[in-house]
A and B are shown apart, each in its own frame.
Chain A
Amino acid sequence: MIVADKKPIEEIIAEMKDKQRIFIVGCNECVTVCEAGGKKEVGILASALRIYFLKEGKESTVEEMTLQRQCDHEYLEEIRNVMDNYDAVISLACGVGVQFMAEKYPSTPIYPGVNTCFMGVTEKRGLWTERCQGCGQCILARTGGICPISRCAKRLLNGPCGGSTKGHCEIRKELPCGWQLIIDRLKALGRLDEYEIIYPIKNWSFERSGGPRQVLREDVQE
């Protein structure tokens, strides 16, 4: 899932302090799971903003809604009839949702309510960690299911580097060395001989270096 973190309320207040009709829109998918932008977080932010405006003695309306997703046309269409009622919309979806909403409703200012961080997993409640950088050419088959692009701080394809110490990374001491994890995993799988194979230079044009990417599937298009 896409992992996001809450934006500090003061940052949101700074953007909203002069607005009168505010619409807070949450997303029921990834940001709900990582407890940054679901229905509950929408409620908390809406309540905090209402209290703020009441305290300041400003007339304002803060309304809330949570969509199933903000990265699909059909769900964003659900708010088409009400968008004109507001002079600011705070989207608690990831950056994808914020942008897609802004694309669909160009005359309404859309503000982000979360900081979008990475693609990752819920290790335990309250701890989310990165697992994928969307490099566009998955090599997990050859690394025992552990990604050196996202788990190695230097994104090395032939690691570990000289900074790997007792299984930990030199960039952050508490971080496990991605390549140590790969070696341990290959050993457990009895495939350590594959570690000897040198990776060729990776074609990064499938990653961000080639500009914004797209996946085109003519077979499923209408």
Chain B
Amino acid sequence: MRLRYPANVKIVRVPCTGKVDILHILKAFEKGADGVYIVGCREGECHYQGGNLRARKRVTQSQKILDTIGIGGKRVQMFNLSSSEAPRFARIAGEMVDQIIELGPNPVKKSRTGREHPTACLSTEGAVS
């Protein structure tokens, strides 16, 4: 399909979104990511029973922590889609990047100089082509 999605999305592959921990999400922000979104299988279609449901709870918890420490919980989102939904994957990437641009850079970077960090994406989906 040769679909395009923003180049500033860095994909981190995990075997299942159930592997994604709050700590992974926080570390991304600590290292300067502007936003993180988790792309898991559709609810009820997890290959490991309920990994995507666990991920969603962890995303909610991460949002609370980020709100508390003044980074903003909206910088973390979770999406559920199947590996055959490439156009939706590309659209979500674009929407997420737009939303993060609206929120502005990660406040952590204010106190740092140096390279910009991209929006991070943790995904169980295959390569989108």
User: What is the interface of chain A, defined by CB distance below 8 A to chain B?
Assistant: 8-10, 13, 40, 43-44, 47-48, 50-52, 54-55, 57
A20 CA to B66 CA in the complex, in Å? 21
Across-interface contacts of A44 in B (CB, < 8 A): 22-23, 26, 65
Residue contact A51 to B108, C-beta cutoff 8 Å: yes
Across-interface contacts of B111 in A (CB, < 8 A): 54-55, 57
A113 to chain B, nearest CB (A): 14
Residue contact A55 to B71, C-beta cutoff 8 Å: yes
Encode B84-123 as 1/0 by CB contact (under 8 A) with A. Answer: 0000000000000000000000011011100000000000
B27: CB under 8 A from chain A?
yes
CB pairs A–B below 8 angstroms (7 shown): A9-B65, A44-B26, A48-B65, A51-B69, A55-B69, A55-B111, A57-B111
Across-interface contacts of A51 in B (CB, < 8 A): 26, 29-30, 66, 69, 71, 108
Q: A51-B71, A54-B108, A57-B110 are in contact. Are A40 and B23 (CB under 8 A)?
A: yes
A13 — nearest CB in chain B belongs to which residue? Answer: B69
Residue contact A55 to B110, C-beta cutoff 8 Å: yes
B68: CB under 8 A from chain A?
yes
B126: CB under 8 A from chain A?
no
How many chain-B residues does the 8 Å CB contact rule pick out? 18
User: What is the interface of chain B, defined by CB distance below 8 A to chain A?
Assistant: 21-23, 26-27, 29-30, 65-66, 68-71, 107-108, 110-112
Q: Specify which of B21, B27, B69, B110 is in contact with A52 (CB 8 Å cutoff).
A: B69
Residue contact B71 to A8, C-beta cutoff 8 Å: no
Across-interface contacts of B110 in A (CB, < 8 A): 55, 57
| Residue in B22, B69, B70 with the greatest tally of chain A CB atoms within 10 Å | B69
Q: Specify which of A10, A50, A54, A57 is in contact with B68 (CB 8 Å cutoff).
A: A10
A9 CA to B29 CA in the complex, in Å? 17
Across-interface contacts of A52 in B (CB, < 8 A): 69-70
Residue contact B23 to A54, C-beta cutoff 8 Å: no
A8 CA to B22 CA in the complex, in Å? 16
A52 — nearest CB in chain B belongs to which residue? Answer: B69
B27 — nearest CB in chain A belongs to which residue? Answer: A47
Across-interface contacts of A40 in B (CB, < 8 A): 21, 23
Across-interface contacts of B107 in A (CB, < 8 A): 54-55
Residue contact B69 to A48, C-beta cutoff 8 Å: yes
Across-interface contacts of B70 in A (CB, < 8 A): 52, 55
Residue contact A48 to B112, C-beta cutoff 8 Å: no
Residue contact A50 to B23, C-beta cutoff 8 Å: no
B34 to chain A, nearest CB (A): 13
A9 CA to B64 CA in the complex, in Å? 10
A55 — nearest CB in chain B belongs to which residue? Answer: B107
B110 — nearest CB in chain A belongs to which residue? Answer: A57
Across-interface contacts of B23 in A (CB, < 8 A): 40, 43-44, 47
Residue contact B68 to A8, C-beta cutoff 8 Å: yes
A90 CA to B21 CA in the complex, in Å? 22
A220 to chain B, nearest CB (A): 40
A55 CA to B26 CA in the complex, in Å? 13
Across-interface contacts of A10 in B (CB, < 8 A): 68
A57 CA to B113 CA in the complex, in Å? 12
A122 CA to B104 CA in the complex, in Å? 42
Residue contact A55 to B108, C-beta cutoff 8 Å: yes
A210 CA to B112 CA in the complex, in Å? 57
